[in-house]
């Protein structure tokens, strides 16, 4: 009887078969083909070798694109963390109505179309945009500053576009912290800064790591924001892949850069996952 009772609470693993089959056919197979194609020595095919990878790794331009993409992700993630953490903190200590409002403000950009969000930044940063108009009105500048098509512009726009991905996991982590711990810390004489540094921050590490992972992965792959705010002079990996594949029709090279990019992303993801396990052990201890 006990066995039959347990059986009714689980469903047959076979229910996952249709999606699993779909994923093997339309997700795993294409990625395998991408990998295979990256070893083709020329677009016409036939010969296989490491030509494309050698071309990528031996080319300072290509390596520069990879480096600036990965570095862009670091800058965006740091800025997003510095701005996003206090938002999560404020959400945690606000009364109910304010919590709802903060949540709405955080979720809205997450669900608004990326093109719309990026378009807003074009309007804000443009020569006749809100920043330049305000500075000119204040008499601080005579000629409009160049904000659009600069890396600073890309970093700020990406930080806004990806901030929800940082704030939401930190809110989760902060809500799991026993409020008595902060009280205990202050009763024992620690000030607010010290309590924050020694108690709250370490305990919210799992949320920080999860947020950084999501933000980083989203920032380096954010094709639309990178190309619209960065303009033609700044080239990042997603656009580089697209140019090689679509404009130049050089599929083997595009496949090779995709694989290099994929591996970089997976490497970063696994580093963050390892950090996440460490920080969870720390937070639970």
Partner 1 sequence: MSKINPGDRRIDLDALSFRVVMTAIALAALVLLVAPTVVVIWVSFTSGYSLKFPPPGYSLRWYGELWNAWQLQFAMMNSLKVAAWATGLSILLGVSASLGIARSPTLTAKVLDSLFLSPLVLPALAFGLSSLMFFSMIGVPVSPLTLVIGHTVVSVPFVVRNTVASLAQMNPSLLEASSSLGAGRWYGFRRVTLPLIRPGIMAGGFIAFMASFDNVPVSLFLRDAATDMLPIRMWQDLEGRLDVTVAALSGVLIVATIALMLVMERVAGLSKRLT
15 vs 285 by CB, closer to partner 1? 15
Rounded CA separation 238/230 (Å): 13
- When the beta carbons of 233 and 285 are compared against partner 1, the nearer one is 233
From the list 42, 28, 27, the residue with the least C-alpha distance to 256 is: 42
Residue 77 is classified by DSSP as H
Q: What secondary structure does DSSP assign to 188-223, as a single string?
A: TT--HHHHIIIIIHHHTHHHHHHHHHHHHHHHHH-H
Exposure string (b/e) for 175-199, b if CB count within 10 Å is 16 or more? eebeeeebeebeeeebeeeebbeeb
Q: Is 76 or 87 the residue whose CB approaches partner 1 more closely?
A: 87
| Both structure tokens of 129 | 């945009």
CB of 232 to partner 1, least distance (A): 9
Closer residue to partner 1, CB minimum distance, 237 or 285: 237
Tell the smallest beta-carbon distance from residue 203 to partner 1 (Å): 16
Do 156 and 212 form a contact (C-beta atoms < 8 A)? no
Q: Which is nearer to partner 1, 55 or 131 (CB)?
A: 131
Sign of the dihedral defined by the CA atoms of residues 23, 107, 111, 245, in that order: negative
CA gap 216, 67 in Å, rounded: 14
CB of 157 to partner 1, least distance (A): 8
Of 224, 227, 250, nearest to 56 by C-alpha is 250
Q: How far is the CB of 67 from partner 1 (least distance, A)?
A: 17
Q: For residue 263, with 0-12 CB atoms within 10 Å meaning exposed, 13-18 middle and 19 or more buried, which class applies?
A: exposed
Nearer to partner 1, 169 or 206 (CB): 169
Burial class of residue 64 (count of CB atoms within 10 Å of its CB; 0-12, 13-18, 19+): exposed
Q: Provide the minimum distance between the beta carbon of 42 and partner 1 in the complex, in angstroms, as a whole number.
A: 16
Residue placing its CB nearer to partner 1 in the complex, 124 or 203: 124
Q: How many CB atoms are located within 10 Å of the residue 238 CB? A: 19
Between 110 and 145, CB nearer to partner 1: 110
The distance of closest approach from Cβ of residue 227 to partner 1 in the complex, given in angstroms and rounded to an integer, is: 8
Q: How far is the CB of 161 from partner 1 (least distance, A)?
A: 9
Residue 61 beta carbon to partner 1: minimum distance, rounded to whole angstroms: 19
């Amino acid at each position: 009887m006990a066995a039959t009772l347990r059986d009714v609470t689980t469903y047959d693993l076979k229910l996952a078969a249709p999606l699993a089959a779909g994923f093997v056919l339309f997700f795993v197979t294409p990625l395998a083909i991408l990998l295979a194609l990256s070893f083709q020595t020329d677009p016409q095919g036939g010969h296989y070798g490491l030509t494309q990878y050698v071309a990528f790794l031996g080319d300072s331009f290509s390596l520069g694109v990879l480096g600036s993409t990965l570095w862009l992700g670091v800058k965006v993630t740091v800025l997003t963390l510095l701005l996003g953490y206090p938002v999560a903190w404020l959400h945690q200590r606000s009364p109910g109505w304010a919590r709802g409002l903060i949540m709405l403000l955080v979720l809205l950009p997450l669900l608004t179309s990326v093109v719309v969000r990026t378009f807003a930044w074009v309007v804000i940063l443009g020569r006749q945009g809100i920043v330049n108009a305000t500075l000119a009105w204040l008499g601080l500048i005579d000629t409009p500053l160049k904000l659009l098509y600069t890396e600073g512009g890309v970093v700020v726009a990406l930080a806004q576009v990806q901030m929800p991905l940082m704030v939401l996991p930190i809110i989760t982590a902060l809500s799991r912290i026993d409020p008595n711990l902060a009280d205990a810390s202050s009763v024992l004489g620690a000030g607010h800064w010290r309590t924050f540094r020694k108690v709250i921050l370490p305990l919210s590490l799992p949320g920080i790591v999860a947020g950084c992972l999501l933000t980083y992965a989203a920032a380096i792959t954010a094709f639309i924001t990178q190309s619209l705010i960065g303009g033609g002079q700044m080239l990042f990996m997603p656009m580089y892949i697209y140019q090689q594949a679509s404009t130049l029709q050089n599929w083997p090279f595009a496949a090779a850069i995709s694989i290099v990019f994929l591996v970089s992303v997976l490497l970063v993801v696994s580093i963050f996952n390892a950090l996440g396990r460490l920080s969870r052990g720390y937070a639970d201890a």
